[in-house]
Amino acid sequence: MPFYDVWSLTQAFIADLFRSLAVADHLGAFVVVSAFAVLLGMELQLTRDKRRTPTLRQSYRTNLATFLFNDFLMSLLSVASLLVLAERYGKQGLLHQLDDPAAKATIAFVLFDLTLYLWHRANHTFDWLWTFHRVHHSDRSINVSTAFRLSFIELLLTTVVKAAFIVATGVEAVVVAACEVVATVFVLFHHTNIAFRSEKWLRQLIIVPSLHRVHHSVQRKEHDSNYGAVFSFWDRIFGTFSEPRPVTVGLPNVSGQNFLELLRFGFPHATPPQSTPTPMPASASSMPAPETLNRMIAEAAYYRAQIRGFTPGSDISDWLVAEREIMQRFG
């Protein structure tokens, strides 16, 4: 068979695949729910930690309740709404002049994933966005259901970002539906608490569970990395790729939130359940050794960061305030 015929058949197959994924919003939901069920089954069999802890069980309950709540509120802003927008702007934008449907769909998906990377990174860069995004990071037991642990306000803002992407690129409805389904399945996948051998080479191209687990580390320098939704090369290109093994995941000042607590946590100025700080001596006869003093200041600065929910950009001010408080105690 001539190469041209093979390429034509391939194009037709890809176009039919995208068209079949976009038959209706319900079909996309079916694919996502099916992927969740499969990955949950894999998680129960291939989990990194065989223990079924109370934290894990509460994580499942809280995350699924959050998903049902968000799904109800977002029913008017679902994928179907984005498809309507794509029908309106599909004949204009950056990609509308491309005649090759397969090339157009491929480029659109790559740009869509880049948009998700930049949006995710913005949620860690700007304090007001982190206020909503910290809901997702508050899970102390990362598992497939953690993908649904999202603030309603973050979901709303993400829909606005996707709408802007559709208008700017002019992608068609079938491509929008396919991008949504594929990206969502990948997000479910890299949150799944599983380990397998091929992660080592798969991570060269896509985000795998071991990479995304780093992103959920309690350590700031680790969780500000691996922002990719599908492809891992965005993190390599922009210098945010990281491969350590995190000791602990989640936010250290948040423990075992139920649905209502998590809902309140997703609003500005909401403070998480506070851990008890290390008691400081009321007075002391002499100034402690420099290394002891620095350790006390570091602990006090860390506690201040906990109270803020580890919002980025305030590390220096935390240290200076903590240093002043400690020095006053020994003044």
Cα-trace Rg, the chain: 23
DSSP, residue by residue, 194-235:
B--TTHHHHTTTB--HHHHHHHTBSSHHHHSS---SSBSHHH
Tell me which DSSP letter residue 53 carries.
Answer: -
β-strand partners of 246: none
Listed in sequence order, the residues at least 6 apart from 301 whose beta carbon sits closer than 8 Å to its beta carbon are 315, 318, 319, 321, 322, 323
Mean pLDDT, residues 238-243 taken together: 94
Neighbouring C-beta atoms of residue 73, cutoff 10 Å: 12
Q: What is the pLDDT of residues 54-112, one digit of tens each?
A: 778 888 888 888 888 877 666 555 666 777 778 777 778 888 888 888 999 999 999 99
Tell me which DSSP letter residue 96 carries.
Answer: T
Please choose, from the candidates 14, 18, 9, 281, the residue with its C-alpha nearest in 3D space to the C-alpha of residue 173.
Answer: 18
Tokens describing residue 195: 């380990």
Q: How far apart are CA 80 and CA 10, in angstroms?
A: 27
Strand runs labelled E in the chain:
none
Listed in sequence order, the residues at least 6 apart from 51 whose beta carbon sits closer than 8 Å to its beta carbon are none
Q: How far apart are CA 306 and CA 255, in angstroms?
A: 12
pLDDT value at residue 205 = 95
Asked if residue 212 has pLDDT above 90, the reply is yes
Q: What is the pLDDT of residues 29-68, one digit of tens each?
A: 778 778 888 888 888 776 666 555 677 888 888 888 888 8
- Bigger pLDDT: 196 vs 309: 196
Q: What is the pLDDT of residues 104-158, one digit of tens each?
A: 999 999 999 999 999 999 999 998 999 999 999 999 888 999 999 999 999 999 9
Mean pLDDT, residues 218-245 taken together: 93
Tokens describing residue 147: 């993908």
Q: How far apart are CA 15 and CA 114, in angstroms?
A: 22
State if pTM tops 0.75: no
